[in-house]
Every structure is written in structure tokens, then in C-alpha cells.
Copies of this chain bind each other. A is one copy, B any other.
Amino acid sequence: MARSPAGESVITRAVRILAAFDPDATVLSLSEVSRRAGLPLATTARMVAEMTRHGLLARDDQRRVLIGTRMWELAERASPVKDLREAALQHMGDLHSVVGHSTQLGVLEDDEVLFVERLTTPGSVVNITKIAGRLPPNASSAGLVLLAHAPEGTRERVLRGALASFTPHTITRERDLRVELAEVRHRGFAFCRGHIHPDAAGIAVPVWRDGQVIAAMGLIVPNDDEAWSYSRPLMLAGLALSRTLSSAPDPKKGQEPDRATGK
């Protein structure tokens, strides 16, 4: 691989440029890309030009830089979370229409919760998760569910690492977290009042496939006396999704026949 003077390969630099964009910064000037990627402006300009030619990036009418639709297409059309999201959307839609609050789906990725889908209602209670956004696992209800059912190695690494804090209610002590995770396993769901924002309560349930927890489905509801009651419809939706996933063929175990052509 060709390397820059700093010893970085082209792929590494391309990833740094892509990682400059996030849900709060979807459109950036060239100099912002350069600064956020930590790359010289000339290198950035050259890389952006080539990545734009391939549709990985695009330029808007003010010449600002954004992720290209082609990049999204390449990532999405064979995405490892595609089947999970597609199965989940139906159940999330049902749940959302019944409870009327933000509904989301998270997976554990690099010891953080990566949110892979979200349905929101304008004006619903505060919710800082975004699709393809991340949260620390100790702070979020989805994170507690995923940690509670994670392989022991992952759980111990997170428990002994730095535990992020958003409010005085966030669980930040290793011992408290161990007690809570046992409770989540016992109770069947995680319930967090004001752990991330004082006005919001998060509830999350495990999503099972073939005996393993592969995701957490959650609700963000107002932090009041009614919050707990949302656990019931959420648990039902989680069970329904788990049943759908466990009866569906695993796409990694071979190609499904194409339903359209029967081939």
C-alpha cells in the first residue's frame, strides 16, 4: 500500500476523511474536512477529489463536501445489519403506532451502542440517539441490555473501563453496574429514569436470534409515573421480533432463494 510521509496508507486516510462526517456535521467545507480528519489541506483536497469521482463523497452547489449517495448504497446494499433492520422495522412500526414515542434499535459495536434504526414523532420527549449514532453502554437502557447479555470478555472490559456520565442518575460505579446488569437479566428489560436526560426514561429489551442476544429494542418515554407501563408493549414487540428473526434463515448461512423469481 502506498504510504504518506506520516506512514499512513491511502485507505487509512480515506477512512479519516469519511469519519470527519457525523450526524451533527453532514456537510463540511474542505478546510473543515482537513481539520477534522487531521490531514494536510492539499492531501485532503486530492483525496476528496478522487473520492468524489467515485461517488464516495459529493460536492453541493456551494462546493461543500458531503457523503455521496453511492457510498451509502455500497455500504447499505450488503450491510450486515440490513436484515435485522428490515425485520425490526415492522415491529418497531407497530410499537411506535401503539405507544407514540421514539422507538430504536441498537447493537454492540466496539464496546459502544450503535443505533441502527430509529422511529420518532415530532415533539416527542428528548432523545439524543440518532441512526448510526453511538452511546456509552453503561448510560443507555439499550446498552445495559446488550451488556447484560454480552460475552463475559466484553462485559468485563466495559465494566473495568471508564464509565461515562450524563446526569447524576447515570450508573458510573462498577459495583452498581454489576447489580443492575443482574437485575436486567432477571427482569427481562432495562429501565433507566433520567440516566441521559432528566426528562426522559429509557426502556430496552433484548432481541434474540437463535439463542443469542444480537440487539436491543428500546423506547424513550417521558420520565413520569407512567413510564414503567411502557415495558409491557415493548416486551411484546421484542418477543415478536425475536420470533421473526429465529424463524428466518440466517443470510450468512447461504443465499436465500429470490422471492421474486423463485430462483
Report A's interface with B, CB cutoff 8 A: 1-2, 9-12, 14-15, 18-19, 21-27, 46-47, 50-51, 54, 56, 58, 60, 64, 66-82, 86, 89-90, 93-94, 96-97, 107, 109-110, 114, 116, 118-121, 126-128, 130-133, 197, 251-252, 255, 258-261
User: Which residues of B have CB within 8 Å of A82?
Assistant: 23, 26, 131-132
User: Which residues of B have CB within 8 Å of A260?
Assistant: 126-128, 197
User: Which residues of B have CB within 8 Å of A78?
Assistant: 21-23, 25-26, 66-67
> Across the interface, do A77 and B132 meet the contact criterion of CB distance under 8 Å?
yes
Closest to A127 in B: B260
Q: What's the minimum C-beta distance from A171 to chain B, rounded to whole angstroms?
A: 19
The oligomer's copy count stands at 2
The listed residue (B94, B197, B255) touching A97 by CB distance below 8 A is: B94
> Across the interface, do A19 and B96 meet the contact criterion of CB distance under 8 Å?
no
> Across the interface, do B60 and A9 meet the contact criterion of CB distance under 8 Å?
no
Q: What's the minimum C-beta distance from A213 to chain B, rounded to whole angstroms?
A: 16
User: Which residues of B have CB within 8 Å of A23?
Assistant: 77-78, 82
> Across the interface, do B15 and A86 meet the contact criterion of CB distance under 8 Å?
no
With A10-B2, A15-B56, A260-B197 given, is the CB distance from A130 to B77 under 8 Å? yes
* CA gap between A15 and B68 in the complex, in Å: 13
**4 tightest CB-CB pairs across the interface, nearest first?**
A2-B2, A77-B132, A21-B78, A75-B75
